[in-house]
Amino acid sequence: MPGHFEEVRKTTGLKKDDQGAYTQAVYKGGLQGTALAAGLTIPLHLFLRRRPQYNAIPVTLKALGYVVLTIPCISIAAEKAGEAFIRSTWTGTGKNELDRDAQRAAMRWDSLGTWQKAQDWGSRHKWGLIGAAWAGSMGISFALVARTPQTFSQKLVQARMWAQGLTVGTLISSALIAGVTTTDNKVVEGKIDHSWADILEQEGQMKRSDLDRIRGTVEKSRG
């Protein structure tokens, strides 16, 4: 953890005195991720163990599945907790600008309709949705194959065929979503960020009239 904190400190401006609090925040986030993973895996295990097909799976394979689910929960929760702590230490003009960005984002969100909100949320969480859809479809295919009166080797072949088809479908869906999001991102990228002007004005380094003139020059050069 000390080595990790040094890397974080170089890129975020944290002080050495913040190491203890940062480490505590990361550990707390990891514990929250562990609790979330336990809340998902334990009920899932209790539900599935009623199925003879689940009981026939080797213990090592079951453990691998739960580890694959648990580790991302812990790592993501710990990372988010560390980022939240870093944001809590920001002060001055930079923090004010971030607060304004958050306010503008909230106003934009409130101005969207229901369908637009769904599109916006989906574009920001597209890979998570794709992963969840793939995992869910795999679970459904396993349940369908498990009901068929066949030998284990035949079920395994059928499951592989289902998996290949679902994987292709998921890849096609992800490509379509990525294409739509890329088109939306091009529109966003075309807009020029003028937050630097607000920062300079707040710090009293330039007048608003001078900043407006510079902003106009920048927009003309981009046009």
Amino acid (one-letter) located at 218: V
Q: Is the pTM of this model over 0.85?
A: no
Q: What is the DSSP string of the chain?
A: -HHHHHHHHHHH---GGGHHHHHHHHHHHHHHHHHHHHHHHHHHHHHHTTSHHHHTS-HHHHHHHHHHHHHHHHHHHHHHHHHHHHHHT--HHHHHHHHHHHHHHHHHHHHS-HHHHHHHHHHHTHHHHHHHHHHHHHHHHHHHHHHSS--HHHHHHHHHHHHHHHHHHHHHHHHHHHHHHHHHHHHHHTSPP-HHHHHHHHTTSS-HHHHHHHHHHHHHHH-
pLDDT at 34 over 90: yes
Q: What pLDDT, on the 0 to 100 scale, is given for residue 211? A: 56
- CA atoms within a 13 Å half-sphere pointing along the CA-CB vector of 16: 0
pLDDT tens for each residue of 201-219? 555 555 666 656 666 665 6
Residues 169, 128, 98, 19, CA torsion sign: negative
Distance CA 143, CA 116 (A): 35
pLDDT tens for each residue of 87-122? 777 766 666 767 777 788 888 888 888 888 887 777
